[in-house]
């Protein structure tokens, strides 16, 4: 057994060692979530063992050292940066990471270069939805497809895993996301070259050898002393150009005039037509509105066709100016490209350089002829029937017109429309022609029943004898003429002067009934009759003839009527 003296000595040594160890840890001042220095003490197959000056050594998976060939340069005693996550885990181990230390340092550096917009070297390592993954300073960054080059690329195999210059365009610190762009670097370099080249040219310069680089449907791309320029299709000629590729080929040299240089965007615009005089400048001296000229059809569209009047001058014939009878006719049914035609100039707009032409104005106008046929009988072919009218074409000229249901018969009945069908040919009379619209009437071919009033010299205020046609609860319908073509309604209130006699049920069909014409309008076809008004007029007439004293002396109206008609009083037996 150890003696008390030796035991005391060992306890003192243990306390002294513990104090020294505690003092050593105190001096190290390790803090979690920070980057610290560590020394490599051992390299195994799966781990790198390092001394972090902690209570125990740390172990880092060897996979965290395989980036940038760091593992091949690593040896015992190497000093490396590691990220301290936990000083002591629940197992009593220190948790450190080489990969997180590398990313944290790269992130801090990335924040600085993002502010200064410095160029960095990156490697495209893979493809994702919408773009690519680029490794920049050890950080995986996103590069959108639109930012890989100044123009769309079909293949990027030659750019994979090769050093590329990029610029950080967006940083999301909360999510740890970085977006980079190679296009921004290329444009920056290109803009510097263009700015330098633009010093040698200015607006208004005439360039003899502008090189055609590419053509599109809307213009031509040129190379002018190393500067890209656009020659828009509208600047190729004073006239209309179908396709620029019809006039030029790639590699061809053109003589152009510099029309605009945008200093902000470094874009250059060129023009060929600016080298020649504008044919619209003195167009009013060559061509007059209302005159007929000859030209060549150059293009046919759905809405009309273009006609070449001379080099650099074209006009448009709209669909509505092709045919007198069909305003929506298709131009390709009348013309073909390269066809020579005559036309009349309708309008010249010098400012917008637009000329309106008319082809139908050179043809005979059937509307002028039809105006001379107002009131005549014609034949039409029914083309369409709606819920209110019939539309038909004149069989001799093809002009279209309308037959309203009220003009089919004098009854003005909707059901009259059901008597006809499409493609039927019927006779009508032309009522009116206005604004290239024709109004037809079928009933105008027959005698108007209302002419009875004119033929019999009947007017408002006259009393006529009618026949009861139909008895209704609200009144009676009466026929005025013998043929019963004129039927008028006498309302209950107009059936008699006395209310007791103004009952429709006391009347019977076929009975004669005298009524006064109180309203007659042939245009709106309105006839209004009143039995009551006729009775009042008759009473006034009798009173005027026999005097009012007859009623005052005890005589009755019945007695006055009997006396007026010469009726004798019956003798008492």
41 contacts: CB under 8 Å, gap ≥ 6 = 49, 50, 51, 57, 76
pLDDT band at 404 (very low <50, low <70, confident <90, very high): very high
Give the residue-averaged pLDDT of 278-285.
83
Look-up of token digits 């190497």? 78
Given the candidates 3.20.20.70, 3.30.450.20, 1.10.10.10, 2.40.50.140, the CATH classification of the domain at 117-187 is 2.40.50.140
Tokens for 499? 């209310």
Position 413 scores a pLDDT of 86
CB 3 within 8 A of CB 37: no
306 pLDDT above the threshold of 80: yes
Amino acid 9: pLDDT: 64
The CATH superfamily label for domain 451-545 reads Nucleic acid-binding proteins (2.40.50.140)
Q: Quote the pLDDT of residue 26.
A: 53
Check whether 68 has a pLDDT greater than 50.
yes
Higher pLDDT, 142 or 210: 142
User: Dihedral angle at the C-alpha atoms of 365, 368, 369, 373, nearest 10 degrees?
Assistant: 150
> What is the distance between the alpha carbons of residues 71 and 89, in angstroms, rounded to a whole number?
27
pLDDT at 548 over 70: no
How many angstroms separate the CA atoms of 99 and 80, rounded?
11
- Residue 390, H or E segment: strand 389-394
Q: What is the CATH number of domain 283-362?
A: 2.40.50.140
Alpha-carbon dihedral angle through residues 47, 52, 56, 62, given to the nearest 10 degrees:
-10
Using 50, 70 and 90 to split pLDDT, how confident is the model at 356? Answer: very high
Select from 1.20.1340.10, 2.40.50.140, 3.40.47.10, 3.40.190.10 the CATH code of 31-116: 2.40.50.140
Residue with the bigger pLDDT between 228 and 442: it is: 442
Left, alpha or beta for 238 (phi > 0: left; psi -120 to 50: alpha)?
Answer: alpha
Entry field: residues in the chain: 573
Angle at 441 between CA 435 and CA 443, to 5 degrees: 165
Q: How many Å apart are CA 85 and CA 96, to the nearest integer?
A: 6
What's the mean pLDDT when you consider all of the chain? 82
Q: At residue 552, does pLDDT exceed 50?
A: no
Joined together, the tokens standing for residue 461 give 């205020």
**Per-residue pLDDT reduced to its tens digit, 501-519:** 888 888 889 889 999 999 9
Q: What are the two backbone dihedrals, phi and then psi, of residue 480, each rounded to the nearest 5 degrees?
A: -90, -40
Mean pLDDT (whole number) for 85-110: 74
Q: Does 557 score more than 60 pLDDT? A: no
pLDDT exceeds cutoff 50 at 550? no
Render pLDDT for 473-490 as a digit per residue (tens, 0 to 9).
999 999 988 888 888 999
Question: In whole angstroms, what is the distance from residue 465 CA to residue 512 CA?
Answer: 7
Residues 6+ apart with CB under 8 A from 507: 468, 471, 476, 495, 513
Once rounded to an integer, what is the mean pLDDT over residues 364-391? 88
**Percentage of residues in the chain having pLDDT higher than 70:** 86
Give the model's pLDDT for residue 249. 86
Nearest CA to 273 among 245, 237, 241? 237
Instruction: Please identify which residue in the block is written with the tokens 């369409």.
Output: 384
Q: Domain spanning 366-445: which superfamily?
A: Nucleic acid-binding proteins (2.40.50.140)
Lowest-confidence pick of 254-268, 421-435, 522-536: 254-268
Model confidence band, residue 399 (pLDDT cutoffs 50, 70, 90): confident
More confident residue, 565 or 429: 429
Residue 217: HSE in the Cβ half-sphere, 13 Å Cα cutoff:
0
- Report the pLDDT averaged over residues 537-554: 67
pTM of the model: 0.45
Average pLDDT over residues 204-229: 84
pLDDT above 50 (res 571):
no
Ordered by start, the domain boundaries in the chain are: 31-116, 117-187, 200-275, 283-362, 366-445, 451-545
128-165: per-residue pLDDT in tens?
998 999 988 878 899 999 988 888 888 888 889 899 99
Mean pLDDT of 317-325: 89
Q: Is 7 exposed, middle or buried (0-12, 13-18, 19+ CB in 10 A)?
A: exposed
Tell me whether domains 117-187 and 283-362 share a fold: yes
**Interval 111-132 mean pLDDT:** 88
What's the CA gap between 205 and 182, in Å, rounded?
34
State the average pLDDT over residues 181-201: 77
Q: Give the CATH superfamily of 200-275.
A: Nucleic acid-binding proteins (2.40.50.140)
């Amino acid at each position: 057994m150890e003696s008390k003296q030796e035991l005391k000595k060992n306890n003192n040594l243990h306390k002294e060692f513990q104090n020294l160890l505690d003092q050593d840890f105190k001096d190290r001042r390790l803090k979690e979530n920070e980057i610290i220095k560590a020394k490599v003490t051992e390299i195994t197959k799966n781990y790198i063992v390092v001394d972090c000056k902690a209570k125990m050594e740390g172990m880092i998976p060897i996979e965290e050292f395989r980036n940038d060939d760091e593992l091949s340069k690593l040896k015992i005693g190497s000093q490396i940066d590691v990220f301290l996550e936990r000083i002591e885990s629940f197992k009593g181990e220190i948790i450190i990471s080489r990969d997180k230390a590398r990313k944290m340092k790269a992130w801090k550096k990335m924040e600085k270069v993002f502010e200064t917009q410095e160029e960095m070297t990156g490697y495209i390592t893979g493809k994702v939805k919408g773009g690519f993954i680029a490794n920049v300073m050890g950080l995986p960054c996103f590069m959108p497809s639109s930012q890989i080059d100044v123009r769309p690329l079909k293949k990027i195999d030659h750019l994979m895993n090769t050093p590329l210059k990029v610029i950080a365009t967006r940083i999301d610190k909360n999510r740890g996301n970085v977006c980079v762009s190679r296009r921004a670097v290329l444009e920056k370099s290109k803009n510097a070259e263009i700015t330098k080249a633009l010093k040698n040219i200015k607006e208004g310069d005439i360039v003899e050898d502008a090189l055609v680089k590419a053509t599109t449907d809307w213009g031509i791309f040129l190379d002018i002393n190393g500067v890209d320029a656009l020659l828009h299709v509208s600047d190729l000629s004073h006239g209309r150009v179908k396709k620029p590729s019809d006039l030029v080929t790639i590699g061809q040299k053109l003589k152009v005039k510099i029309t605009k240089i945008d200093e902000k965007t470094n874009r250059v615009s060129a023009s060929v037509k600016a080298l020649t005089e504008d044919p619209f400048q003195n167009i009013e001296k060559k061509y007059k509105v209302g005159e007929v000229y000859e030209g060549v059809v150059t293009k046919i569209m759905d809405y009309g066709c273009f006609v070449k009047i001379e080099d650099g001058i074209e006009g448009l014939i709209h669909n509505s100016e092709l045919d007198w009878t069909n305003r929506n006719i298709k131009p390709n049914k009348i013309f073909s490209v390269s066809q020579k035609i005559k036309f009349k100039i309708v309008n010249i707009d010098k400012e917008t350089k637009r000329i309106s032409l008319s082809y139908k104005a050179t043809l005979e106008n059937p509307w002028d002829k039809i105006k001379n046929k107002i009131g005549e009988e014609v034949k039409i072919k029914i083309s369409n029937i709606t819920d209110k009218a019939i539309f038909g074409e004149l069989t001799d000229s093809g002009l279209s017109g309308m037959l309203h249901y009220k003009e089919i018969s004098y009854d003005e009945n909707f059901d009259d429309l059901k008597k006809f069908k499409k493609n039927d040919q019927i006779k009508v009379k032309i009522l009116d022609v206005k604004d290239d619209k024709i109004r037809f009437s079928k009933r105008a071919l027959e005698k108007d029943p209302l002419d009875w009033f004119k033929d019999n010299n009947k007017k408002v205020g006259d009393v006529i004898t009618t026949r009861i046609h139909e008895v209704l609860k609200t009144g009676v319908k009466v026929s005025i003429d013998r043929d019963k073509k004129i039927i008028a309604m006498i309302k209950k209130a107009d059936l008699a002067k006395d209310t007791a006699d103004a009952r429709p049920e006391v009347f019977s069909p076929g009975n004669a009934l005298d009524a006064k014409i109180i309203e007659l309008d042939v245009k709106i076809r309105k006839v209004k009759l009143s039995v009551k008004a006729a009775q009042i007029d008759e009473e006034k007439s009798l009173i005027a003839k026999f005097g009012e004293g007859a009623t005052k002396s005890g005589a009755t109206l019945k007695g006055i009527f009997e006396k007026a008609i010469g009726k004798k009083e019956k003798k008492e037996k």
